Amino acid sequence: MSYKIGMISLGCAKNLVDAEIMLGGAREEGLEITADPGEADVVVVNTCGFIDSAKQESVDAILESHRLRGLRTRPGQKLVVSGCMSQRFSTELASEIPEVDAFIGLDQVAEAGKIFRQILERDERALNLVTPKSRYIPDYATPRFRLTPRHTAYVKIAEGCNHPCSFCVIPQMRGRHRSRTVDSVVREIRQLVDDGVKELNLISQDTTYFGMDLWEEKAGPRQPVDSTRGASLVHLLDELAGVDGDFWIRLLYTHPAHWSNELIAAIARNPKIARYVDMPLQHIHPEMLKAMRRETSREHIVDLIARLRAGIPGLGLRTTFIVGFPGETEDHFESLLEFIRTTKFERLGVFNYSQEDGSRAAKMDGQIPVRTKNRRHREAMKLQQAIAQESAAAAVGQSLKVLVEQPNIGRTEHDAPEVDCRVILTETCEPGTFVTAKVIGSQIYDLIAQPF
C-alpha cells in the first residue's frame, strides 16, 4: 500500500530544514509526499517553541489537525508532532493532547521515515520517542525534500548554541553548538547549485561560530582558538566562492561577538557572497546588554558596524531588537531609538520580549506590561519605516541585480527570503533567474524597477 505524508511546518528556517529532512527520509522509505493534509495518512505538525506566540500557534495547529481528522475521508489518519516544542515539552503535551499518535524530537528527524512507517503498519499510539539532549547534525548526503522555491535553499551549517542569552531557551532544546565539516557543506552547495539553486542561505543558531567548536575540541578547553584556520566560516566562504555557477551565498544569524577582520575581508573579496549581513543585536544600552548576557558591549557593536560598512562596500545590514525586556526603562528605550536613528540600518525588525519558562530573564524583577511593550514596538517600527522609506527613495536611478521570485516580483542581495523587502518589476520575468533592473520608484519599503 502507498502511504502519504503531509507536513505543517512552523517557525524559522532552521525548523524548515528539519522538516525537509523528515520528508526526505519519508520519501526514501517509499512514502508519498502530499501538500494536502486532507489526503495524508500521516499529518506531521513541525512545531516552534521559541516564544509564546509561536508555541500557541503550534498548539493551535496540533488541535486543528486533530479536529480535522474526524472530518477527513482518509481513514485512520495519524498525527505526529515534531520540532522544538516537541523536543522540550513532549511529556506535558502527551498528557494534555493524548490524541497525538507520536512525538519525535530533534534527534529523530533523520529516522522520521522509518518512524512514520512504524506508526502506520504497527498501529502504535502515544509514542514518545524524544531523547533528552539533542546531538544530531545533518550531512550533505542526508536526503531532503525541499519545501522552498526551486531557486532558493537554506543550508544548515551547524546545530545548537553555546551562548548564555538570558531571554533564550534554544540551547536547552537544541543542545550545544555542533559544526558540520567544511567538506560536507561544500558538497551540499554543489549539489544544490547543480539542481538550479540561485540563492543559498547559510543558517545556524550562530553562523559566525562555525568551526570554532571543532578547534576547541582539538586545542582543549583552556587553549586559545584560532578561528581563521581550518574549519572556520572564513575558510568555508572561500571554499564556497570557488564553486562554479551564478548564485548568491547569503549569511544569516550571525552574532556580534564572533566577527573578525578576516571574516569581513572574506566577504569583501568573494563576489558570490551577498553584500548582506544579518546580525541580531537585541539592544544597545550597556545595562540591557549585560542583563541579556549578550557577551558584547555598546562600544564593540558601534566599532563592528563601522568596520563592516568600511570593509564591505555596498553592504546591507539587517538586525533585530527586543523591546520590553525586564528592567528596560524609558531611558534605555530612548537610547535604543537614538541608536536606530543614527545607525540607519538597511533592514530592521523588532520583537516584543517574551517571558520564556526556563530562561533566566523569566525570573527577573521588572517585567514590563504588555501595553508598554506594544507602544515601544510601534515607536521603534515607525522610526525604522521612515529610515527605510528614505533609503528606498535614495535607490531611484540605480541599476540592481534582482533575483526573480514571481513573474513581477524579485529581491536584491539586500533582501533575504520572507523577511525583507521586494522589488516590483514593471515587466514579466522568468522566476528563478537573475535580471538587471533600473529603480524607477519606491513604495516605503519596496522598490519599483524596470528590467533591461
Statement: the pTM of the whole predicted model exceeds 0.85: yes
Confidence of residue 173 (pLDDT cuts 50, 70, 90): confident
Residues 362 and 293 grouped into a single domain: yes
Asked if residue 140 is part of any domain, the answer here is no
Asked if residue 142 is part of any domain, the answer here is no
Q: Residue 84: name the closest of 19, 157, 177, 155 by CA.
A: 19
Q: Residue 99 has what pLDDT?
A: 87
- The DSSP H or E segment spanning 442 is strand 434-443
Q: Residue 125 has what pLDDT?
A: 67
3-state secondary structure at position 451: strand
Structural domain range at position 113:
4-128
Residues 353 and 221 grouped into a single domain: yes
CATH of the domain at 281: 3.80.30.20
Residues 355 and 286 grouped into a single domain: yes
CATH of the domain at 435: 2.40.50.140
Asked if residue 138 is part of any domain, the answer here is no
**Largest Cα span, the chain:** 65
Q: Residue 126 has what pLDDT?
A: 66
Residues 96 and 227 grouped into a single domain: no
Q: pLDDT, tens digit, for every residue of 47-94?
A: 998 788 888 999 999 999 998 886 766 778 999 999 999 999 999 999
Looking at the DSSP bridge assignments, the partners of residue 153 are 200
Contact 292, 281 (CB under 8 A): no
Contact 163, 210 (CB under 8 A): no
Asked if residue 21 is part of any domain, the answer here is yes
Number of structural domains in the chain: 3
The secondary structure of residue 114, as a DSSP letter, is H
Point out the domain boundary residue: 84, 112, 128: 128
Q: Residue 388 has what pLDDT?
A: 96
Confidence of residue 391 (pLDDT cuts 50, 70, 90): very high
* Helix ranges, 293-424 (H): 298-311, 330-343, 370-394
Q: Residue 229 has what pLDDT?
A: 47
Alpha carbon separation from 343 to 276, 336, 421 (Å, rounded): 16, 10, 19
Q: Kindly state the percentage of the chain with pLDDT values over 90.
A: 83
CATH of the domain at 52: 3.40.50.12160
Confidence of residue 230 (pLDDT cuts 50, 70, 90): low
Residues 370 and 444 grouped into a single domain: no
Residues 118 and 183 grouped into a single domain: no
Q: Which whole number is the average pLDDT over 94-116?
A: 93
Dihedral-angle region of residue 187 (phi above 0 means left; psi in -120 to 50 means alpha; beta otherwise): alpha
Confidence of residue 1 (pLDDT cuts 50, 70, 90): low
Contact 234, 266 (CB under 8 A): yes
Q: Kindly state the percentage of the chain with pLDDT values over 70.
A: 95
Residues 205 and 186 grouped into a single domain: yes
Asked if residue 441 is part of any domain, the answer here is yes
Q: Residue 224 has what pLDDT?
A: 42
Confidence of residue 217 (pLDDT cuts 50, 70, 90): low
Q: pLDDT, tens digit, for every residue of 119-158?
A: 998 866 668 899 988 889 999 999 999 999 999 999 999 9
Residues 325 and 403 grouped into a single domain: no
Q: Residue 193 has what pLDDT?
A: 97
Q: Which whole number is the average pLDDT over 32-54?
A: 91
On the question of pLDDT at 219 being above 80, the answer is no
Asked if residue 64 is part of any domain, the answer here is yes
Asked if residue 271 is part of any domain, the answer here is yes
E strands, 262-344, where?
273-278, 316-323
Q: Residue 285 has what pLDDT?
A: 98
Residues 259 and 406 grouped into a single domain: no
On the question of pLDDT at 228 being above 60, the answer is no
Looking at the DSSP bridge assignments, the partners of residue 90 are none
Asked if residue 161 is part of any domain, the answer here is yes
Residues 71 and 87 grouped into a single domain: yes
Contact 138, 106 (CB under 8 A): no
Q: Residue 2 has what pLDDT?
A: 84
Q: Residue 266 has what pLDDT?
A: 97
On the question of pLDDT at 365 being above 50, the answer is yes
Cα 179 vs. chain centroid, distance in angstroms?
Answer: 16
What mean pLDDT is reported for the chain?
Answer: 93
Point out the domain boundary residue: 113, 128, 143: 128
Residues 38 and 97 grouped into a single domain: yes
E strands, 234-315, where?
248-251, 273-278
Residues 225 and 280 grouped into a single domain: yes
| CA separation for the pair 209, 251 (Å, rounded) | 12
Cβ neighbours of residue 265 closer than 8 Å, sequence gap 6 or more = 311
Q: Residue 225 has what pLDDT?
A: 42
The secondary structure of residue 195, as a DSSP letter, is T
Point out the domain boundary residue: 96, 128, 160: 128
